[in-house]
């Protein structure tokens, strides 16, 4: 995403503002999706909508009209060869303190951003990462969901300014590796894929699920479990992924270096195939 979105709709109308009484602002009471768009089309649309819907139901926001959201998005994307859609749903406006009103209409925000200007080398050669000091707190009741309470990620992202560092890996309170500030992380170890369990904290990324699906198609199972920093350091390959970057090989984490390995390359190639990224 670039610093400023280029077009914005709020509840279907051209606007760049929400009420100061919106619960998204007051409490982070809402959810978001970041969707890659190519050739006027949002990628992995159904998966994004399913996660958003599941999140809304989990938070008690209720079912949202994804047809309306699609209309908003397709309208913004007209004539845009490549861009990023950020979709935000909040519980809506008002309420007495934390208690939400009985009948509240969710706020629907869609922002179109320019495609991010990550250098091609991040994809082909890979990136350097650090392990952040900011930890992810355990909260099973909110884990996995892409909600608007993101101070942990904001604080973690403040830990470095060096442009050479492209991502910060975050641990939980027990010292296990959970994810990157903006990505999910995978290891290749003993020929198999490993990715952290996200039942206690972390965001269950759309690209994470998609990569696991692609891996399965290549007859690679993914072991989802708690992962220690030592296991990360001993991995044969490491990569991070999200909807915008696809797959980035991780070549360095703090002082430990990694090769760009064959499984990462294979999954990158699989993702780049016409049907590999499941453009809908």
Residue 16 interacting with a second copy (CB under 8 A): yes
* Closer to a second copy by Cβ: residue 58 or 260: 58
Residue 195 interacting with a second copy (CB under 8 A): no
- Per-residue binding letters, 155-174, with a second copy (x by CB under 8 A): xxxx--------------x-
CA distance 130 to 169: 6
* Closer to a second copy by Cβ: residue 150 or 256: 150
Select from 38, 54, 131, 142 the one that contacts a second copy (CB under 8 A). Answer: 142
CA-CA distances (angstroms) from residue 126 to 163, 198, 244, 245, 259?
14, 24, 15, 11, 9
CA distance 156 to 134: 5
- Quote the tokens at residue 71: 């209309």
* Closer to a second copy by Cβ: residue 153 or 264: 153
Select from 29, 33, 72, 179 the one that contacts a second copy (CB under 8 A). Answer: 29
Q: Which of 206, 135, 123, 202 is nearest to 172 (CA)?
A: 135
Residue 48 interacting with a second copy (CB under 8 A): no
Residues 258/151/139/247 CA torsion (nearest 10 deg): -30
Considering only residues 233 through 272, tell me which ones interact with a second copy, judged by CB under 8 A: none
Provide, rounded to whole angstroms, the least separation between the CB of residue 122 and a second copy. Answer: 14
Q: Looking at the DSSP assignment, which residues form a beta bridge with residue 128?
A: 165, 252
Select from 53, 90, 195, 243 the one that contacts a second copy (CB under 8 A). Answer: 90
SS3 of 207-276: HHHHHHHHHHHCCCCEEEECCEHHHHHHCCEEEEEECCCEEEEEEEECCEECCCCHHHHHHHHHHHCCCC
Please, are residues 25 and 50 in contact by the beta-carbon 8 Å criterion? Answer: no
Q: Candidates 45-53, 71-79, 129-137, 256-264 — which segment interacts with a second copy by CB under 8 A?
A: 129-137
Please, are residues 239 and 179 in contact by the beta-carbon 8 Å criterion? Answer: no
CA distance 83 to 275: 19
Residue 120 DSSP symbol: T
Q: Which residues are part of the catalytic machinery? A: 34, 146, 179
* Closer to a second copy by Cβ: residue 28 or 276: 28
* Closer to a second copy by Cβ: residue 30 or 193: 30
Provide, rounded to whole angstroms, the least separation between the CB of residue 165 and a second copy. Answer: 11
* Closer to a second copy by Cβ: residue 158 or 225: 158
Residue 32 interacting with a second copy (CB under 8 A): yes
Residue listed under structure tokens 């990505």: 183
Residue 15 interacting with a second copy (CB under 8 A): yes
Residue 2 interacting with a second copy (CB under 8 A): yes
Residues that bind a second copy (CB under 8 A): 1-5, 8, 10, 15-29, 32, 59-60, 88, 90-91, 94-101, 109, 111, 116, 134-142, 147-158, 173, 181-182, 201
């Amino acid at each position: 995403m670039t610093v400023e979105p280029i077009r914005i709709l709020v509840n279907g109308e051209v606007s760049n503002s929400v009420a100061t009484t919106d619960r998204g602002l007051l409490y982070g009471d809402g959810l978001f999706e970041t969707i890659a768009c190519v050739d006027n089309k949002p990628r992995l649309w159904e998966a994004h909508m399913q996660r958003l819907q599941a999140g809304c139901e989990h938070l008690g926001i209720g079912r949202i009209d994804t047809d309306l959201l699609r209309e908003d998005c397709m309208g913004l994307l007209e004539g845009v060869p490549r861009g990023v859609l950020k979709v935000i749903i909040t519980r809506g406006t008002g309420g007495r303190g934390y208690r939400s009103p009985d009948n509240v209409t969710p706020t629907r925000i869609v922002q179109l951003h320019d495609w991010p200007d990550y250098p091609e080398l991040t994809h082909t050669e890979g990136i350097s990462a650090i392990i952040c000091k900011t930890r992810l707190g355990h909260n099973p009741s909110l884990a996995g969901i892409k909600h608007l309470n993101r101070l942990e990620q904001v604080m973690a992202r403040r830990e470095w300014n060096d442009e050479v560092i492209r991502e910060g890996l975050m641990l939980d309170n027990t010292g296990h590796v959970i994810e990157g500030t903006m990505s999910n992380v995978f290891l290749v170890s003993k020929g198999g894929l490993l990715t952290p369990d996200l039942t206690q904290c972390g965001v269950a990324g759309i690209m994470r699920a998609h990569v696991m699906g692609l891996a399965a198609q290549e007859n690679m199972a993914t072991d989802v479990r708690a992962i220690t920093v030592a296991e990360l350091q001993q991995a044969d390959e490491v990569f991070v992924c999200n909807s915008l970057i696809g797959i980035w090989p991780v070549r360095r984490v703090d002082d430990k270096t990694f090769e760009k390995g064959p499984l990462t390359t294979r999954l990158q190639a699989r993702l780049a195939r016409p049907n590999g990224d499941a453009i809908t």
